[in-house]
Amino acid sequence: MIDEREKIARMTRMGSTPEQGFDPAALMLIVLIAGIGIGIGIVALRRRPKVPRWMNPRRARKKLDVIRRDLDRMFEYVGDLRESGPSVSQHFEQGVAAMTRYHWNQAVDHFQEARQQATKAQLVPLLVHIGMCHYMQGSLDDALKEFGEASRQADRERDRLGAAASLANIGVIHHEYGEFGSALTYLNEALGIVRELGNQPLVALCLGNIGNVQHSNGRLADALKSHEDALAISRGINDDLGIVSGLGNTASVRHDSGELEKALELYAEVIEKARQIGDNVGYTIELGSIGSVYYDKGDLDRALRFHEDSLAGARRVGFRLAMATELGNIGLILDKRSAPSQAVPNLVEALSILLSIGASGGQLQVLLGMSRCDDALGRERMQELLKQALASDEGAADMLDRIDQLRRRRPWPTASN
């Protein structure tokens, strides 16, 4: 059980290795985050036509007052790159080192240099790594393009493990787009390959990602089985990253099944495990997950602190999807605490990131929160805050239009329908 935030709210120094451990003072910087201004472009907003079909409230989860983000894992496929010549291997190693420091653009530059000298077979792992960097930056279309090319190249080279990596990562992207059927098709195909190859760590990874899609689709019993199977495999082979992922995802399903105390127990275990192995991304995401449990327990102060900690970590590792999730949750909590003027900038930044990425999860919750803020503040004050956040009359008008479109889709969803 987690009783005090100070016992677990610690993040690693950026660029540290698992051996270096965590810096207990790092998250003390969180208080500085609140004053950071929102520098958001409105390019993505300009290309919005209508509220997408998938955003129909009737298709949404019952829980609309908080945004969930399960821990999706990607294949970090290496292939034979480390056995290649210096012109390829050195750039590849430099790219991997940049990824461990969360310098995603720098990593892509190194991988692209290696790509110029790589053989056809070596292209598969390079493309996979480039796609992973794009994913962390929130460039889902670019990531999908790289994974798709990696899949085609793997088929040409008869690289079955490379094909599995590519297919599984494509599945993760389709999950982010809200395309659950396509996601499961790709993930199940990848799962079939790694089972034939007998690669247990990757079997667990695929099962975990399948469980996340099932969870998003409301199939909680199926999701729990997938995650528990994945966790059992990871524990059996002492795969630390798999254990972190399996514990966190299992806790998430328990949470949405109403087992809040059990979820907190599992999150306490996963946080400690992530701290021990230096898994900053997993640690960051699960801090936000703990905040969501406290939100459901009615402890808004503690929930807000955990989401602020998670946002700080997401900013530090440059994980834009997690940033959007935590900005949205902070805004929703501030709205719940009757602080709509403070909520609006967080909600605007969250929605702007989600729109620019093209990710489906969270958009409906953010728009509902913004609609409530509009009701509380009045249209004139809401418009003023939107202009301040977006530095644009056009962007403010676009946001208001989205709110009005959503309103026309009433009746509102509730926890019971």
**Calpha distance 390→388 (Å, rounded):** 6
Tokens representing 263 are 């979820």
The pLDDT, as a whole number, for residue 82 is: 64
The pLDDT, as a whole number, for residue 55 is: 37
Cα distances from 289 to residues 16, 67, 204, 251, in angstroms, run 24, 9, 21, 9
Classify domain 82-259 by CATH number. 1.25.40.10
Tokens representing 261 are 């105390």
The pLDDT, as a whole number, for residue 46 is: 33
Decide: 221 and 183 in contact? Cβ < 8 Å. Answer: no
**Calpha distance 326→321 (Å, rounded):** 9
User: What backbone phi and psi angles, to 5 degrees, belong to 23?
Assistant: -100, 105
Q: Where are the domains of the chain?
A: 82-259
The pLDDT, as a whole number, for residue 63 is: 58
Identify the segments of the chain with pLDDT beneath 50. 1-62, 411-417
Tokens representing 119 are 């053989």
The pLDDT, as a whole number, for residue 342 is: 97
The pLDDT, as a whole number, for residue 80 is: 77
Integer Rg of the chain from CA: 21
Find out whether the peptide bond into 24 is cis, omega within 30 degrees of 0: no
Q: Tell me, yes or no, if the pTM score tops 0.85.
A: no
CA nearest to 208, candidates 181, 226, 183: 226
- Residue keyed to tokens 């620019």: 356
Q: What is the dihedral of CA 179, 359, 44, 397, to 10 degrees?
A: 100
Q: What are the pLDDT digits (tens) for 220-279?
A: 999 999 999 999 999 999 999 999 999 999 999 999 999 999 999 999 999 999 999 999
